[in-house]
Amino acid sequence: MSTDHTSLQPLFDPRAVAVVGASDDPAKWGHWLGLRALRGAHRRRVHLVNRRVATVLGQPAHDSLGAVGEPVDLAVIAVPAAHLDAAVADAVAAGARMIVAITGSERDGDAGGALDAAIAARARTAGARLLGPNCLGVFDAAAELELVSNDLPAGSLGLVSQSGNLGLEIGAKVTAAGLGFSRFVSLGNQADIQAAELVDALAQDPATRIVAAYVEDFVDGRAFTAAAARAVAAGKPVLLLAIEHTEATARAVRSHTGALASDGAAIDAACRAAGIHRVRSPQELADTAEALLRAPRAAGRRVAVLADGGGHAGLAAGLAHAAGLEVPALEPELRARLRAVLPPAAAVANPIDLAGGGEQDVSCFGTVTRTLLESGDVDAVLLSGYFGGYAEYGLGAGELAAAEVMGAAVAATGRPLVVHSLHEEGPALAALRAAGVPSHAAIERTVSALAALTPHPFAATADAPAVRAATPLASTDYAAVRALLADGGVPFVAAETVAGADEAAAAAARLGYPVVVKALGLLHKSDAGGVVLDLGDESAVRQAAADLERRLAPPALSVERMAPLAGGVELIVGARWDPRFGPLVLVGLGGVFTEALRDVRVALAPVDRSGAEELLRGLRGAPLLLGARGRPPVDLAACADAVAALSRVAAAHPELAELEVNPLLAGPAGVLALDARAIAAA
Amino acid sequence: MSTDHTSLQPLFDPRAVAVVGASDDPAKWGHWLGLRALRGAHRRRVHLVNRRVATVLGQPAHDSLGAVGEPVDLAVIAVPAAHLDAAVADAVAAGARMIVAITGSERDGDAGGALDAAIAARARTAGARLLGPNCLGVFDAAAELELVSNDLPAGSLGLVSQSGNLGLEIGAKVTAAGLGFSRFVSLGNQADIQAAELVDALAQDPATRIVAAYVEDFVDGRAFTAAAARAVAAGKPVLLLAIEHTEATARAVRSHTGALASDGAAIDAACRAAGIHRVRSPQELADTAEALLRAPRAAGRRVAVLADGGGHAGLAAGLAHAAGLEVPALEPELRARLRAVLPPAAAVANPIDLAGGGEQDVSCFGTVTRTLLESGDVDAVLLSGYFGGYAEYGLGAGELAAAEVMGAAVAATGRPLVVHSLHEEGPALAALRAAGVPSHAAIERTVSALAALTPHPFAATADAPAVRAATPLASTDYAAVRALLADGGVPFVAAETVAGADEAAAAAARLGYPVVVKALGLLHKSDAGGVVLDLGDESAVRQAAADLERRLAPPALSVERMAPLAGGVELIVGARWDPRFGPLVLVGLGGVFTEALRDVRVALAPVDRSGAEELLRGLRGAPLLLGARGRPPVDLAACADAVAALSRVAAAHPELAELEVNPLLAGPAGVLALDARAIAAA
């Protein structure tokens, strides 16, 4: 399902605009907005509204929106906070289809929530939409619409930002990279228009080649994920800058499964599901956008590292390796071709060190780069070191010619070249940039840009998984949770719920020895001594049952077949509901290793078998499942099926805040859930 | 033991210098060197030597070093490679005490090794020292000595670099930070003078406040570590830029212990031992140096994050957390004081968001920063966002005044402030910089700089551990290795080496049942089915012994008391010799987890009990040892004693390339080594 983008069209290219609160005071928002709105006056009517003065910015001003005398598509409101509600009412009355509420910064926080809801309802009731309040405005380069406080660079990056200042910082950094915005939308408080809808609108904009977002509150995280997935599927990369809410998350969780998944994990899971590039800073956002806009994508992760010195060669190769790139040894045939054009001291195995070859003949940079790109033995070339500054040695013309050879090789092969130069700029670097070769003065930025050009380690799904609610579970007691999961396809050991030693003994006889007896009604049965394993006969069962009842006074007991623990791997499989992204499924090594090693993988639920298997294979402890040191591999398909089944059950039961099987015993011949629990949503 | 730095004094401040190969050709080293050498002509005699012309650079030239006619402390040689040996001979004959051999780049690689050794020997025999060959020269700002190819900035950073181009890049980056070099020494091939000696020389230089090094080959890694530790102890931070040699390491190892420790691990271990800051790139080196040179150190890791917007506040707090800094909730009393000077919408819990307070009253940046620094509730303040650009809003004077308040608060409290500004520069940022406040336009650089100001997580030892060789072990068979380790203090289970079922049965009777029988002579006994556990009576022992002999034809069997495995934690404790850093000790989780989880910590060997305990506590799986989820904690002191004992044995036996106890069974009442092996050095 895709949002109809025409509904937001007046936000980006209105036929008539009114600036409410337009001002001649150079310290006011109404001044900055009015000034920039008038720049589009050759394309649309621009009305300035001010209650007290007759002219603003040399134009006649209206004393109210109603006095404008023609329909206004878009009203941008920059009035004192106390007048916001009335200004929205006026805009609606004047027929505005789109309201951009700059006002709002004095009502930040909880106190503003009610007002936000009221003005959003007022707009929606009248068939209008509202951006903000408390936003920085909107910008569309192609439409020459500048309803923002600052000048912004024009280009092909679409940005949605929930922070004005971060939007300005990203603007400064993309400007430095020679890029700019196709559209910029400041989210503000998202009282009506939310991030997901804007991601759709940006993705559908022909002038936008990349969609970037800074989001603090995803509101409907699934809608955001789906919109991003649609953008990616349409060939427009999505970059996400998001904060790790570590402390807030820590306060929100109650049990150890939850403690291992942060909001950060939910965001990462959404990024994997949608194929989003997650970036950590405005600089990384700009560098990633630049790489994706300028350079071709790499088909794989094999990189040739080329430098004019052993130091740069080794450093770049090490950092590339640390970033998950491969720096493979080159084939003998390719080495021989490189050797033929380089001095004897050069290293040609990869990394390639010209070892003075550049100073002797600067054209070798071009020859070697072209040879590497054409070989097909690598997916990309990373050049690091002095290149870009050979003009200082009087070699400027040769260096420029080499840059042209390099750029032509990139174009001819469709394989990327990225450059780190210890020189900030120069003609050769400018020529490279123009030919689709990004360069940076810091090697870590070059490596990061190259990594962004390589295929995602996780394949994007076209859409986030759908979630359908089932009949809510009436009780979260052990038997009910167990039955729910078993019905959903999670295999459990045979068990009976009983009361007292007599019933326990009878159940054990039906199930067959050895058995386990559990005291129910405890969140962590094992920790409380509520599980007695490996009971081989009736008297042992009676004694265990009596002891549990005496010590723990449980509401009931569960008698279960003893599973063969030896040789199996204990997993923990859980699910929890994130307030923004909905159900998440978690897998990890079980038992005492869960907390000790924090080896957990998280995905949006539900996952199918292949998604579940990807999670399992992503564990650091995956070798234990796949057969480490001569151990037999576990039945990974059965394991994945159980994870997928639990994830489906969780996604269908929003009334369960948490759902967990711990342990899931995985062995060579299948899996068995040995315990389960759920926590009802508050 | 400290090297006598006077022996290198002529390298940095010679009384007379000769440039051999001085040239008028602006494309030649001899030109660049001669030009810069002459800049010091008011402090020392500078002789230019050229075989073919009478004048160079407008000065009379000598046709040989012998023709100079006076003793020359330092001869710098830039002649074609074929003439290098003769030029060194001439320098020695002319009485040079220090020879700087620029020449050499055409003899890179193995072919140059013999020549390097020959010229080094020639110099040492004559009582002279040699820098290089294949180096970029030497620079001393205080002595106005510039025997280098490029202009370098003067300052208080001492740099030793094994790469000329990386030296130039670091120079460019420290220049951009407003810093420079006290001394720069290019290492070249280290045929005579090595990195360790130069670290000592730099640390003992009064003008050098920080020592930085880029090293590819540590040659004597222990000497380097000891020199760095001396510098740190003398109050001069040491920064190390080093490459991760991942592939080379992978080729070099033979067994799984070794496979888990890379040269990178050895370098990290050396850094921990000496208190060295390891950096990953020239940019990080420059940023770290700037922070350490400008700002006071933080006493702890508690940081207040201050921003003029929620986006910058959250992003900075998240990145600070990821960098290992703490962003604690502030005390109510401090919050109240902040609340009193900020608008109602401001967040004051930490991170602190001024929420428009800066635009309303830019002086609040100063007030809030001072309040935070003075409180003592945090160790540092990180400011992120728009500050630095308020002049654009006409608030330049107020912003500058705020910067002065902030700088004064840093000086008064001795606590650091670091700044990220979305503006690259401006008067307020310049004033902050002058007052000891580093600023960067990328938040990740600011966070990294702040992290460098906080205490090292590992305490530095004053000196690297000493290594004393013992009598070499004659055999690496099981019994010999076991005895060696047991004598060294590693507790083993009782065992007897036997041949055949009869001897095995007799040994078992003496040891007491149950026992284990092992087939000796195998590298990985368990994987080959060479270990039979838990034999309870004589017939079981006889059967196991017979079966092992039939299947594996071992040279002998070992009969051992069966240790109580249940409830214990299996560790792997090993040691290996790094070619540069000598003995390393490794600890990790044992059994199948060793390879699956790669949870290993490494230190220079030997370690004492507290060093061993630090390694154990540093494991991700440390909670398993300390008592996770209700398990009893293991006897950590006994564990640490065993690790320390093995590390002492390893350090005393360079003839053993690898030494390993696997598993070391750790339980609540002590530890027991259950198996051991060693591999002789090749």
Determine which helix (DSSP H) or strand (DSSP E) holds B226, and give its type and residue range. helix B221-233
**Hey, CA dihedral for A91, A92, A95, A100, is it positive or negative?**
positive
Q: From its phi and psi, is residue A70 left (phi > 0), alpha (psi between -120 and 50) or beta?
A: beta
- Which residues on A lie below 8 Å from B173 (Cβ)? 441
**Residue in chain B nearest A599 by alpha carbon:** B597
Q: Look at A358 and B458; give whichever has higher pLDDT.
A: A358
Residue A356 has pLDDT above 80, yes or no: no
- pLDDT tens-place string over residues B433-457: 999 999 999 999 999 999 999 997 6
Residue A248 has pLDDT above 60, yes or no: no
Question: Stretch A568-591: mean pLDDT, rounded?
Answer: 89
- Interface list for B 206-235 with A (CB within 8 A): 214, 216
Of A126-135, A601-610, B96-105, least confident by mean pLDDT is B96-105
**Which token pair is B408?**
């004064």
pLDDT at B253: 30
User: What's the rounded Cα separation, in Å, for the pair B269 and B272?
Assistant: 5
Give, in degrees to the nearest 5, the angle at Cα A157 between A156 and A159.
145
Q: What is the mean pLDDT of chain B?
A: 89
- pLDDT tens-place string over residues B336-386: 999 999 988 888 888 898 987 888 899 999 999 999 999 999 999 999 999
Question: Stretch A561-577: mean pLDDT, rounded?
Answer: 87
CA distances from B135 to A288, B191, B260 (A): 37, 11, 34
User: What's the rounded Cα separation, in Å, for the pair A549 and B306?
Assistant: 56
pLDDT at A179: 96
**Which token pair is B250?**
């992978």
Q: Which residues have a Cβ under 8 Å from the Cβ of B414 and sit 6 or more positions away?
A: B296
- pLDDT tens-place string over residues B9-56: 999 999 999 999 999 998 889 999 999 999 999 999 999 999 999 999
Residue in this structure with the two tokens 């620029």, named with its chain if needed: B102
- pLDDT tens-place string over residues A193-205: 999 999 999 999 9
Pairing assessment for the beta strands B238-241 and B210-214 based on DSSP bridges: parallel
Using a 10 angstrom Cβ sphere, with 0-12 exposed, 13-18 middle and 19 or more buried, the burial of residue B15 is: middle
Cβ contacts below 8 Å, chain A against chain B, sum to 202
pLDDT at A568: 83
Alpha helices in B553-635 (DSSP H): 593-597, 609-618, 622-626
CA distance A115 to chain B (A): 15
**Which token pair is A418?**
């990225």
- Interface list for A 397-456 with B (CB within 8 A): 422-424, 441-444
**Is A106 in contact with B343 (Cβ distance < 8 A)?**
yes
Res. B462 pLDDT band, cuts 50 70 90: very low
How many CB atoms neighbour CB B551 within 10 A? 12
Using a 10 angstrom Cβ sphere, with 0-12 exposed, 13-18 middle and 19 or more buried, the burial of residue B576 is: buried
- pLDDT tens-place string over residues A463-514: 555 667 889 988 889 999 999 999 999 999 999 999 999 999 999 999 999 9
Residue A457 has pLDDT above 70, yes or no: no
**Is A216 in contact with B310 (Cβ distance < 8 A)?**
yes
DSSP secondary structure of B378-405? -SEEEEEESTT-GGGGT-HHHHHHHHHH
- Which residues on A lie below 8 Å from B80 (Cβ)? none
User: What's the rounded Cα separation, in Å, for the pair A147 and A20?
Assistant: 12
Residue B682 has pLDDT above 70, yes or no: yes
Comparing CB atoms, the residue among B172, B356, B444 nearest residue A105 is: B356
> What is the model's pTM?
0.92
- Is the CB of A109 inside 8 Å of chain B's CB atoms? yes
Residue B103 has pLDDT above 80, yes or no: yes
Give, in degrees to the nearest 5, the angle at Cα A209 between A380 and B309.
100
- Which residues on A lie below 8 Å from B248 (Cβ)? none
Share of chain A above pLDDT 90, in %: 71
ipTM of the complex: 0.90
**Is B106 in contact with A345 (Cβ distance < 8 A)?**
yes
DSSP A224: H
User: What's the rounded Cα separation, in Å, for the pair B335 and A322?
Assistant: 41
pLDDT at B259: 36
Q: Which residues have a Cβ under 8 Å from the Cβ of A519 and sit 6 or more positions away?
A: A525, A528, A530, A531, A548, A549, A552, A554, A557
Share of chain A above pLDDT 70, in %: 91
Res. B678 pLDDT band, cuts 50 70 90: very high
Comparing CB atoms, the residue among A169, A592, A624 nearest residue B624 is: A592
Res. B621 pLDDT band, cuts 50 70 90: confident
How many CB atoms neighbour CB B466 within 10 A? 9
- Is the CB of A319 inside 8 Å of chain B's CB atoms? yes
pLDDT at A585: 95
Of A392-396, A433-437, B421-425, B427-431, least confident by mean pLDDT is A392-396
- Which residues on A lie below 8 Å from B595 (Cβ)? 623, 628-629
**Residue in chain A nearest B282 by alpha carbon:** A442
Q: What is the dihedral of CA B225, B227, B232, B235, to 10 degrees?
A: 180
Q: What is the dihedral of CA A315, A318, A320, A326, to 10 degrees?
A: 140
- Which residues on A lie below 8 Å from B78 (Cβ)? none
Side-chain half-sphere CA neighbours of A130 within 13 A: 31
- Is the CB of A623 inside 8 Å of chain B's CB atoms? yes
User: What's the rounded Cα separation, in Å, for the pair B304 and A270?
Assistant: 30
Of A615-619, B183-187, B240-244, B399-403, least confident by mean pLDDT is B240-244
pLDDT at A526: 67
**Which token pair is A135?**
């936003």
**Residue in chain B nearest A622 by alpha carbon:** B596
What residues are paired with A670 via a beta bridge?
A667
- pLDDT tens-place string over residues A258-290: 333 447 888 999 999 999 999 999 999 999 999
User: What's the rounded Cα separation, in Å, for the pair B396 and B427?
Assistant: 8
Residue B564 has pLDDT above 70, yes or no: yes
pLDDT at B257: 31
Res. A116 pLDDT band, cuts 50 70 90: confident
pLDDT at A115: 83
pLDDT at A245: 67
**Residue in chain B nearest A311 by alpha carbon:** B163
pLDDT at A107: 45
Q: Give the strand order in the sheet containing A417-421.
A: A352-353, A303-307, A380-385, A417-421, A439-440
Amino acid at B459: A
**Is A422 in contact with B172 (Cβ distance < 8 A)?**
yes
DSSP A563: P
- Which residues on A lie below 8 Å from B596 (Cβ)? 620-624, 628
Res. B629 pLDDT band, cuts 50 70 90: low
- Is the CB of B172 inside 8 Å of chain A's CB atoms? yes
Q: What are phi and psi of A601, to 5 degrees?
A: -125, 145
- Interface list for B 242-261 with A (CB within 8 A): 243-247
Residue A602 has pLDDT above 80, yes or no: yes
Return the closest-CA partner of residue A679 out of A522, A507, A570: A522
Residue A253 has pLDDT above 50, yes or no: no
- Is the CB of A598 inside 8 Å of chain B's CB atoms? yes
**Is A595 in contact with B628 (Cβ distance < 8 A)?**
yes
Q: What is the largest CA-CA distance in chain B?
A: 99
Residues A526 and A678: beta-carbon distance below 8 Å: no
User: What's the rounded Cα separation, in Å, for the pair A198 and A214?
Assistant: 12
User: What's the rounded Cα separation, in Å, for the pair B147 and B137?
Assistant: 5
- pLDDT tens-place string over residues A119-162: 999 999 999 999 999 899 999 999 999 999 999 999 999 999 99
- Is the CB of B284 inside 8 Å of chain A's CB atoms? yes
Side-chain half-sphere CA neighbours of A269 within 13 A: 34
User: What's the rounded Cα separation, in Å, for the pair A501 and A538?
Assistant: 10
- pLDDT tens-place string over residues B122-176: 999 999 999 999 899 999 999 999 999 999 999 999 999 998 889 999 999 999 9
**Which token pair is B565?**
């495995």
| Residue B509 CA, distance from chain mean position | 53
Res. B525 pLDDT band, cuts 50 70 90: low
pLDDT at A255: 30
Share of chain B above pLDDT 70, in %: 91
Res. B246 pLDDT band, cuts 50 70 90: low
Residue A249 has pLDDT above 50, yes or no: no
Res. B392 pLDDT band, cuts 50 70 90: confident
pLDDT at A75: 97
